Structure 1
Amino acid sequence: MLLDFGCGPGRVAGHAGRALGMRIIGVDASPDMLALAREEGTPGAEYHLVADGRVGGLADACADAAMCNHVLASLPDERTVLEVFTEIHRLLRPGAPFALLTTDPACAGIEYASLRVGEPGVSYGPGEAMPVRLRRTDGTWQSVRNHAWPVETFPPLLEGVGFTDVAQHHPTPDEAVGVADPEHVRSRDWSAERLRPPLVVTTAVKR
């Protein structure tokens, strides 16, 4: 079972489940997002509501792996980040892997093909409000407000709730070849992404 903590409308979870051959447990704090995820129709998937930092109806150690994609950007303080890490740790079996995908606030102001994190020349501390621009599929841009979480924040928090073997990696577009949609990979130059990758994957293992 693959746990997607903060599954949103379920598209990423569905893709991951098909690619890895795993059943999905999707959890989210938004009932509306869970309704969309159920409409996605991923075979064998189940979805649960997160309330007050806990997922009701799920036993300890019920998941074989977990991922959490771009969820922390909506969290304003360390307490809520710790709640997420603690609940993921509870739901994973011992020895199970966890992957966390976030943007890197150290890349503030760099213009990427479909993203700009923060403002040029500005440094952002943990939990600080940070503007993000996202490019829509029609080429227009959307501005949203996120919370910055510098990548060095995560290892001590993860270790503090019981994870081990914490590592971090900045993936490049070249690593997407053979994994992502080939047409999307070829659609842009990705030169800025190659020079200074804007995303970081933090991995850990439940003790």
Structure 2
Amino acid sequence: MRALFLVFLLAITVNFPALSDGHNDAMPQKVIDPDKAYRVAVEAVRDKKYTIAVEHFEILAKQSQYDAQYNLALLMKQGLGIPQNYPEALKWTWLAHLGGVKKAQGLADMLLDLVPEKRQDKTRDQVSDNLTSRIESGDLTALTQFARFHLDVLVEPDYETAYSWYSVAAALKMPGGIRGREDVIDEIDPKKLVELQDEATEIFKNLTSPE
């Protein structure tokens, strides 16, 4: 919902782009309250202080706040508060999509028409690195997102890898894990299923074994 609100704000302000004067006096410090930071960013868009909006949305985007990722991507695509950067916008859009922001898919489709294929592959690698880093740091919400990455972001869906990661998510009772596993199982060659289950078990052990 918050992402939709920013789309509306951009629609009424994008024809009058203006960078913030005195941008240093509003540089974000370490913002503790994500909701407050989000409000500051939205107010900055309303006031056409796009540089400030980008700074705050970027802080939140790096903390895996999905609405902020989508809104940052919008600003990057339009070159408001930061030079246009279609590949970087695509990265944040994909992450927002995997985080459940519904409108992100439409933005991703637009950006895919603007980013060369070779650069798309690099961006896919960046998204993969982001998700695996989160998993390694203990953020298990990224498990189903990484599984979905192999279905929605890769050029050709990798059902086998998605099955393994959904299986791990299901075992850890992560939302969407069981449903995702059952949705892809029909796409798997039955002869490969046991091998993939072994892979999932190994991943599970690595994630749950005490260091």
Scaled to the shorter chain, the TM-score interval is under 0.3
> Higher strand fraction: Structure 1 or Structure 2?
1
Could you say which structure has the larger radius of gyration?
2
> Higher helix fraction: Structure 1 or Structure 2?
2
**Superposition TM-score, scaled by structure 2 size:** 0.26
**Superposition TM-score, scaled by structure 1 size:** 0.27
Greater RCO (CA < 8 Å, at least 6 residues apart): 1
